[in-house]
Amino acid sequence: MNNIESSVYKINTANGTGTGFYSRENDIIITNYHVVAGCHTVSVKGKDKNRYLTQVLYVNPGKDIAFLRADSLPKPVDTVLLDHSTVSQTRDKVIVLGYPYGMPFTVTEGIVSNPRQSIGGSYFIQTDAAINPGNSGGPVINEKGELMGIVTSKFSDADNMGFAIPLETLKEELRVVNDLTNVFTLGCSNCGGLIEEKSDYCPNCGTNIDEKLFEEIELSDFSLKVEAAISKLDINPVLARSGRERWYFHQGSAEIRMFVYDNNYLFATSPLNDLPRKNLAEVYEYILTADTEPHRLSISDNQIYLSYRIHISDLYSDHTNEILENLAHLAIKADALDNTFVTKFGAEMTHYSK
């Protein structure tokens, strides 16, 4: 089980986060369509905390399935098993792997409540295993590591009712993998035909197609400004996106977080170090007297932070360029300061650090 975990990834987009898993047989990452909807490029993050630029190759909104490819991703040796003949049965034990609510990797267990629950004309595996937002796209496996299904949804007003797309549905979609190119491709939910060019109908069967399915969601002007600051660090902003108007990334060893606070402020912060057990007086004096302007050192929950806060309206003032520089410099300064606290005061890096 521990080896399989390395093939399950957190998927980060400008709209939110989800889960995906690597298929060695097909050299793709499998997830839900709704996890990557409106995106042609996303990032995936494994347990090593590294993020990898990932292309959305194929989506089938009707089946809620998407295939991704990350060329630079180190290929895991042990993966979820897709090539097997085990059939889900009522009361079978199942295990859900994923990143609920964008949290670190999590494992939950349950049983199959109904292996063929009919919803909206399609069959799903119903389970009582804990499933939450962020689990979407993750694998549901048995104790042998065999894939039973892909997490797709839960009833928000009911407990212990989660649903997974059955393996047989996924296998039907996997037949197209060898026909895919490096172009974003839409699968017709009616005939299964592959559509590479934007169209309002399927060239194969004539079914009406919503052209918006081919389009990437446009970022707000506010998001573009923040990403301009991230670009100053020679970081592709796609690699930093962690949900709507939320960016997490590493500058060297330091984790950097940028997000909207209280609907009015852009907050940038970095958890530098855990407070040391010794030399606290010296640490406090340094935090109070060190010249880090316009950034600010502080302590919260026994950790040392470097932070910067501005009112969102200031991004649209004459100080825009200065603010973007300050955001970028916070990341550079954080990468230096966490080492300073280690060497001068014996502090340790936080578990967020690389």
User: Maximum CA pair distance of the chain?
Assistant: 74
In angstroms, how far is CA 105 from the centroid of its own chain? 11
Distances (CA, A) of 78 to 5, 119, 145, 177, 314: 9, 33, 10, 21, 49
Tokens of 318: 């004459």
Contact criterion met (CB below 8 Å) for 343 and 349: no
Q: Is 34 a catalytic residue?
A: yes
Contact criterion met (CB below 8 Å) for 202 and 209: yes
Q: Which of 23, 64, 270, 307 is catalytic?
A: 64
- Cα torsion for 28, 33, 37, 43, to the nearest 10°? -30
Q: Is 7 a catalytic residue?
A: no
Q: How far is the C-alpha of 72 from the C-alpha of 42, rounded, in Å? A: 13
Q: Which of 43, 88, 136, 270 is catalytic?
A: 136
Q: How far is the C-alpha of 63 from the C-alpha of 86, rounded, in Å? A: 22
Give the relative orientation of helices 320-345 and 221-231 as an angle to the nearest 10 degrees.
Answer: 50
Q: Is 300 a catalytic residue?
A: no
Active-site positions read 34, 64, 136
